[in-house]
Amino acid sequence: MKLLQIAELPAGSAGTVRIPIQGAALCAGFPSPADDFLEGALELPRWLAPNPPATFAWNISGDSMRGAGIFDRDLAVADRSLKPSNGSIVVAIVDGTMSLKRLVIEGNVARLAFDNPDLPAFAVEDLIEGEIWGVVRFSIRWHVARAGLVR
Amino acid sequence: MSRAIALIDGNSFYCSCERVFDPKLARVPVIVLSNNDGCAIARTAEAKALGIKMGDPWFKIRQQCQREGVRVFSSNYTLYGDMSARTNAVYRDFSPAVEIYSIDESFLDLSDVRNRDRVALARDLRSTVRAWTGIPTCVGIGPTKTLAKLADHVAKTIPDLDGVCDLTDPVAYDHWLCRISVAEVWGIGRASLAKLMGLGIDTVADLRDLDPRPVRKAMTVVGERIIYELRGLACLPLELLPAQRKGCAVTRSFSRRITERETLEQAVATHATRLGEKLRRGGLGTTHVSVFYHTSEHDRGDPMRSVSTTVTLPEATNDTLALIKAAQVGVTRTWREALGDRPWRYSKAGVVTTDLKLLDDAPRALIGQLDRERSAPLMAAMDACNARFGRGAVVPARAGLTEKRTWSTKFEMRSPRYTTRVGELPTAHA
């Protein structure tokens, strides 16, 4: 059972945006069937998520990107409006699976690479095999072991 | 500069939303089912190719879907609503005037864009929406809403057009209007279509060239308006602000048949709770709550019953607790215990209001005044909790905890709410 103070609730400060801005989806023609199911989207401050409609959060599972500072059970926030470039961390579709990779562009060759010193260097794939879904803008990791409150 | 309206809509919108987060759905047939997993309401091109029709009941196509590897989803309106808001946010970057017509269609005013730049802008819009949100779309452009809708139909059905059709271009206008069936015109229903066929009207061009005045007799002013719209004379403005609601209804089919009074009361209280939320969102209040519930017409041979009653409140309110109380009075007034061993098996219940007014303008009652000063902050706190912690985080005890309700709409094959719930975010493998 979680206890939260009502006083903490109103989050209407100008510093946060919803991804995307909700509530404006009132339809002029048909009442939206989604109306009864809308939820407050995940809120991120505007300076972290400058383009809310293109911003999506992903759970990360696995340790192949430790070199990039992204670990198992972190969150990665992808911005689909960012152009991928050499060195970008990307969410990519590889063999029909969503994967987190580093995009490496050498000359004309683009590859999706692991970033973990413990993994063999050949663990890379040509981009032809994959498709970039979005570019990771930042990642989130929790450092709390157990969420107890000091009283 | 001439008027130009664009209609942009998502291709197989619900299915496309599912595909954004699940790469295994690419290039395979996907369908989405209606509430309670009743029938198919969205199909990808692959599913259409298998002969699955809009509205096909799930129990009839279930075996075919299993046999042919169709991926089937319950509707995930939380996700679709969020993706719809995202696409509209992108549309607003392209046009200052956007009318959200339905969850997957919006009208954009492109009058300020030069004629020759419109198609390029539409292509840019499509590719931006695709890149930013993952949703594929088509765009139709025309001097009126009716022609924009028609252009969108052309863009959808003719692959060579690459998803954009511009009927403000006179050449395209002349080319397509005599090649499209009149059945595709927005607002032409089955009844009108039969009349038009009787008059020998086959194509959109035939309809356009009719004398509008006699049509008014046969097809009312709506038919006349369609003809003017097809000629490029705008009769329908963009509705940028939704009209104020006059009425509001919350009605649901149960996922099973209901025979017990407690369950019905809980369902009605749940609907009243939702009604309160909807009214508060518009700052509206009501003085009447109608409650109805009935058995199913499909249960042939079972005892039938359909009741509805209207409960009057002392003054206009949107307080959930007052609405629940009124709804319970409605049930108390109409509930009958079965006489024999065959109880009525109810399939649907709802609460309806028809006399909405702005709460601030509503006159106060002299007798039986409700305590607005206390109820408003309580309701605001409840709405804030539900907005922040997800729907159903705080409910009136009468409505029961969301997960303990045994009658709520079924969504058994629903995908995760990928974009709104931290616990349901999609996973990428590293």
Which letter does DSSP use for residue B129 in this model?
A: H
Q: What is the pLDDT of residues B255-271, one digit of tens each?
A: 899 999 999 999 999 99
Place of tokens 């450092």: A143
Average pLDDT over residues B123-145: 97
Closest chain B residue to the Cα of A25, Cα to Cα: B85
Decide if B102 and A32 are in contact by the 8 Å CB cutoff.
Answer: yes
User: In this structure, what token pair is assigned to residue A130?
Assistant: 């994959």
pLDDT band at A122 (very low <50, low <70, confident <90, very high): low
Known active-site residue A64: yes
User: Is A28 within 8 Å of B387 when comparing Cβ atoms?
Assistant: no
Q: Dump pLDDT digits (tens) for B339-397.
A: 778 889 999 999 999 889 898 888 888 887 888 888 999 999 999 998 888 788 899 99
Q: Which residue in B has a C-alpha nearest to residue A119's C-alpha? A: B430
CA torsion sign for B238, B243, B249, B254 is positive
Distance from CA of B217 to the nearest CA of A (A): 26
pLDDT digits (tens, 9 = 90+) for B30-57: 999 998 888 999 999 999 999 999 999 9
What is the chain B residue with the closest CA to A57?
Answer: B425
> What is the DSSP code (8-state) at residue B179?
T
pLDDT at A21: 35
Residue A13 designated active-site = no
Q: Which of residues 20-79 of A touch B (CB under 8 A)?
A: 20-22, 24-30, 32-42, 51-54, 56-65, 70, 72, 75-76
Angle subtended at Cα B305 by Cα B301 and Cα B309, rounded to the nearest 5 degrees? 170
Q: Tell me the shortest Cα–Cα distance from B199 to chain A, in angstroms.
A: 30
Query: DSSP assignment, residue A3?
Result: -
Active-site residue among A88, A99, A101, A139?
A101
pLDDT of amino acid A151: 82
ipTM value for the complex: 0.85
Question: For the CA atoms of B192, B195, B200, B205, what is the dihedral angle to 10 degrees?
Answer: -20
Residue type, B55: G
Query: Are the C-beta atoms of B165 and B154 separated by less than 8 Å?
Result: yes
Q: Which residues of chain B make contact with A40, given a CB cutoff of 8 A?
A: 387-388, 390, 420
Residues of chain A neighbouring B388 (CB-CB closer than 8 A): 9, 11, 40
Question: A-chain residues within 8 Å CB-CB of B105?
Answer: 29
User: Is B43 in the A-facing interface, judged by CB distances under 8 Å?
Assistant: no
Residue A40 — pLDDT band, cuts 50, 70, 90? low
Alpha carbons B321 and B313: distance in angstroms, whole number: 12
**Window from A33-37, B137-141, B379-383 with minimum mean pLDDT:** A33-37
* Active-site annotation holder among A2, A13, A32, A64: A64
What is the separation, in whole angstroms, between the first and last Cα of chain B? Answer: 53
Mean of the pLDDT values across residues B160-172? 95
Residue A128 pLDDT > 60:
yes
Chains A, B: CB contacts under 8 A, how many? Answer: 165
| Minimum distance, in Å, between the CA of residue B53 and any CA atom of chain A | 20
Contact A61 B422 (CB under 8 A): no
